[in-house]
Amino acid sequence: MTSATILSIIIIYFGLLILISNLVSKKDYSNDTFFKANKNSKWYLVAFGMIGTALSGVTFISVPGEVGNPDLQFKYFQFILGNAIGFIIIAKVLLPLYYRMNLTSIYGYIEQRLGTISYKTSAIIFLISRTIGSAFRLYLVVIVLQRYVFDDFNVPFAATVLISLGLIFAYTYRGGLKTIIITDTLQTFFLVSSVFLTIIFVCSSLDFGALEAFEAVKNSQYSKIFFYEDYLKGNYVIKQILGGIFVTIAMVGLDQDLMQKNLSCKNIGEAQKNMFTFTGIFVLINIFFLSVGALLYMYAEKNGIAIPMVDGVARTDYLFPEIAFRHLSIVPAVIFLLGLTAATFATTDSALTALTTSFCVDFLGMDKAENTNNMKTVRTRHLVHLTFSFLMFLVILVFNSLNDKSVVTMIFTVAGYTYGPLLGLYGFGLFVKSKTVNDKLVPFICVTSPLITYFINSNSKDWFGGYVFSFELIIVNGLITLLGLFLISKPATGQTRF
């Protein structure tokens, strides 16, 4: 498929999203619409749309690419099992709390429980964490578009990033969450269709029927799921499951992005129904993504396709697009492009909306009734939205100059450091009812904890007999934060309500 064809498809795709945005937000672009979708979202649309937000281009490219590593294979599914447990905990513990308090920003809980400075600290942690995480995810797709499309037109990488973020801004700045509920449903449809159709096309190329494909994947050198031989390694099953649980609680349950969609449902019953449905689909889709990875490596081996090299280094992130764009026919190439685009932009548009919401509510107080339809605050919201778009642009440029490993690993490594303090703050608030904290010292604890965690991680092999931390590093960070909060705690005055 030619670069011009790919570019034409992308233009049509975003034209459709912008059209939907204009139809949805034509008459209502108030702050209430942007922040909460008027509290009237259908749970089944939220559940389906959240798939695209949760998966992203990382799942679409990096997860299948890592399957070829003998030390990884289907290891990621151990992490997914932990994710599923984490989603259930969120549905049963955190969602009822947020609905009971009628929150727009979930960090309002910290304000009522621990104090204003703790509240602002939590919001800042989210803004930093989500900006970095979303930039990583968008970066993965932009480097693919750059390699297979924009390099042919001599468009610089920075311009590709700017164009991508500009398109996202164009269809999200007015309707916000209300628009995203609809557009993410459409994008998730493209994503889910893409993974199933890719399997069909690759199986056809390998002369596999459904049962033959299942047996081939099961008996291949790529399909080992549970790694329990050496607890010192990062792929050990207990580490992966525990990491999956706590990363999910932090990156979903304590993250304004995905929780904002849940809080747009009419009531807690519909929000929980949404979360349980989402969990089942999420697990199933990830099984198929891992299977795509095994089938792609079989296809590459059969056809003598090498993993693409970038600056002399093999990049597994490029295997899927390499096969889709240069070795399959135009139909599967188009399907791959739609799925990849949908996966990543469904994540980024949601993140930009959540970042804007958090800043406007947590720092500018725009959730107050008098600001709902105030045109001055709406214009301010537009400016905040634009600012976060530009900030993400800068972060992607920095990451492009530094990154040298698989993006999926990098994202969850960074999450272990940035989201850990949120785990500690919410853990203290929820389970230490008899105490509160010295509010002014909380920022110091939340900055110190990741630094101590990094120091421990850097020396773990020497200190712990060769032990290597994986996704469970976030637990260590959370516990260090919790310990620090104990050290600055004091008896709570009056009864703790939440």
Mean pLDDT of 294-307: 89
Contacts of 155 (CB under 8 A, 6+ apart): 146
Classify strands 435-437 and 489-491 as parallel, antiparallel or unpaired.
antiparallel
DSSP 308: P
Q: What is the pLDDT of residue 88?
A: 95
* 489: phi then psi, degrees, rounded to nearest 5: -85, 165
Q: Please give the domain boundaries of the chain with CATH numbers for all domains.
A: 3-402 (1.20.1730.10)
Tens of pLDDT, residues 152-161: 888 899 998 9
Q: Which of 114-128, 173-187, 222-236, 410-424 has the highest mean pLDDT?
A: 114-128
Q: What is the pLDDT of residue 29?
A: 65
Rounded to an integer, what distance in angstroms lies between the CA atom of residue 120 and that of residue 359? Answer: 10
Strand partners, 309: 314
Cα-based torsion angle of the residue sequence 112, 117, 122, 123 in order, rounded to the nearest 10 degrees: 100
Q: What is the pLDDT of residue 496?
A: 55
Q: Which of 66-70, 81-85, 167-171 has the highest mean pLDDT?
A: 81-85
Tens of pLDDT, residues 373-397: 677 888 888 899 899 999 999 988 8
pLDDT for 83 beyond 90: yes
Percent of the chain with pLDDT over 90: 27
Q: What does each C-alpha distance from 117 to 112, 422, 442, 444 come to in angstroms?
A: 11, 14, 7, 11
Q: Which of 40-44, 49-53, 79-83, 338-342 has the highest mean pLDDT?
A: 79-83
pLDDT for 295 beyond 60: yes
Classify strands 435-437 and 313-314 as parallel, antiparallel or unpaired.
unpaired
370 versus 295: the higher-pLDDT residue is 295
Band the pLDDT of 43: cuts 50, 70, 90: confident
Band the pLDDT of 80: cuts 50, 70, 90: very high
Output the furthest CA–CA distance in the chain (Å, rounded): 71
Band the pLDDT of 403: cuts 50, 70, 90: low
Band the pLDDT of 13: cuts 50, 70, 90: confident
Average per-residue pLDDT in the chain? Answer: 84
Taking the CA atoms of 264, 269, 273 and 279 in sequence, report the sign of the dihedral they define: positive
Q: What is the pLDDT of residue 446?
A: 95
Mean pLDDT of 397-409: 65
H or E element, residue 360:
helix 330-362
3-state class of 440 per DSSP? Answer: helix
Mean pLDDT of 178-206: 83
Q: What is the pLDDT of residue 350?
A: 80
Mean pLDDT of 129-148: 81
Rounded to an integer, what distance in angstroms lies between the CA atom of residue 328 and that of residue 26? Answer: 41
pLDDT for 411 beyond 80: no
Q: How many CA atoms lie within 13 A of 351 on its CB side?
A: 31
Tens of pLDDT, residues 267-276: 899 989 989 9
Q: What is the pLDDT of residue 497?
A: 55
Q: What is the pLDDT of residue 333?
A: 79
Residue 219: burial class (beta carbons within 10 Å; 0-12, 13-18, 19+): exposed
Q: What is the pLDDT of residue 64?
A: 87
pLDDT for 406 beyond 70: no
Joined tokens for residue 485? 């909060």
* 314: phi then psi, degrees, rounded to nearest 5: -70, 125
Rounded to an integer, what distance in angstroms lies between the CA atom of residue 152 and that of residue 6? Answer: 11
Helix H segments across 114-224?
116-148, 157-172, 177-205, 210-218
pLDDT for 345 beyond 80: no
Asked if 98 and 109 count as a contact pair (C-beta separation under 8 A), the reply is yes
486 versus 330: the higher-pLDDT residue is 486
